Amino acid sequence: MSKISGLVEKASEVRRQTLDHKPSEVIEAYLTHYNAWLISSHSTGVGVIWLNTVFECSVLAETSLFLSVHGFYESANATLRGLLDIFLTGLHWDISKELGRIAEYELNGRTTNDYALWALGLGVKYPSLSKEIWPTLLANDHIRGYDARYYLRSETEALLAVLNRFVHGRPESRTYDGAFRGSTLNVLFVGHLLEDWLRNTKAVSDLVFIFSTLRYPFLIDSEITASYRERDASLVARVKEHIEENAA
């Protein structure tokens, strides 16, 4: 048996154990709304940059799901870190456009702008989280007000710190007593690591939901919010209350 055949066989067994442990609808609960937002009738009033960002988030969410279901928990969590990073950066560009900060200019005979070059990976530096992204996000009245009341920035940075450890190869899941790490052929189903990933998935999903509805308040009355309310009514109520009070 080749190495790849052995890996596929092991991963398939982990997937079976995963679905025995947790139904697929539970595992996918905090992943489906990315695509749902893209096809929602309410999405006609949002910016193109936000839509592009949510599309990228959807791709990464599905990748993270696939990795976790097959037992690659560290990579699944590292992918969540990429998802949150691309979302915050995309939201920075989205708000920057509204504020008139994305100027078009000519480059090599073509009209372009810094967002377009960044999105295409053509040399524009990645915006700094502390120096550029947060100041832009907090320039939005709803986001700034919610942060002052519920410490949104601190919550986001705490989650980033957790997920960063997976990106940089030192996650807590590798340091507990009895932790096991070996060849990919030794991939195993580990229930508590799946639960950890689910918790991180929900946390990322919640932040995307909060930031998106604060950025586009009319989304709080969308069908996506209605389905989200079934999973976390208190979170939806808190965001809705803030939006209504901030608009008064």
* Residues 212/37, Cβ–Cβ less than 8 Å: yes
Average pLDDT of the residues of the chain: 89
Query: How high is the pLDDT of residue 203?
Result: 97
- Helix or strand (DSSP H, E) at 112: strand 110-112
Question: Cβ of 55: how many Cβ atoms within 10 Å?
Answer: 15
What confidence category does residue 174 fall into, taking pLDDT thresholds of 50, 70 and 90? low
Q: Please, what's the largest Cα pairwise distance for the chain?
A: 67
Q: How far apart are CA 143 and CA 153, in angstroms?
A: 9
Whole-number Cα distances in Å, 198 to 123, 157, 235? 35, 19, 17
- Residue 41: predicted pLDDT: 57
Q: What long-range pairs does 165-168 form, CB within 8 A, spacing at least 24?
A: 166/74, 166/75, 166/77, 166/78, 166/80, 166/81, 167/78, 167/81, 167/82
| pLDDT exceeds cutoff 90 at 21 | yes
**Can you tell me the mean pLDDT for 132-147?**
97
How many Cβ atoms are within 10 Å of 147's Cβ, its own excluded?
19
Average pLDDT over residues 209-234: 89
Question: What is the CB neighbour count within 10 angstroms for residue 99?
Answer: 11
Residues 6+ apart with CB under 8 A from 127: 89, 92, 93, 118, 133
Does the pLDDT at position 181 exceed 60?
A: no
Residue type, position 16, single letter:
R
Q: Are 150 and 238 in contact (CB under 8 A)?
A: yes
The amino acid occupying position 145 is G
Residue 138 clears pLDDT 90, i.e. is over it: yes
Interval 108-136: pLDDT, tens: 888 989 998 898 888 778 899 999 999 99
Most confident of 38-52, 120-134, 143-157, 161-175: 143-157
Lowest mean pLDDT among 12-26, 34-48, 57-71, 86-100: 34-48
Looking at the whole model, is its pTM more than 0.85?
yes
Flag whether pLDDT at 56 surpasses 80.
yes
Q: What local confidence, expressed as pLDDT, does residue 147 receive?
A: 98
Q: Is the pLDDT of residue 171 over 90?
A: no
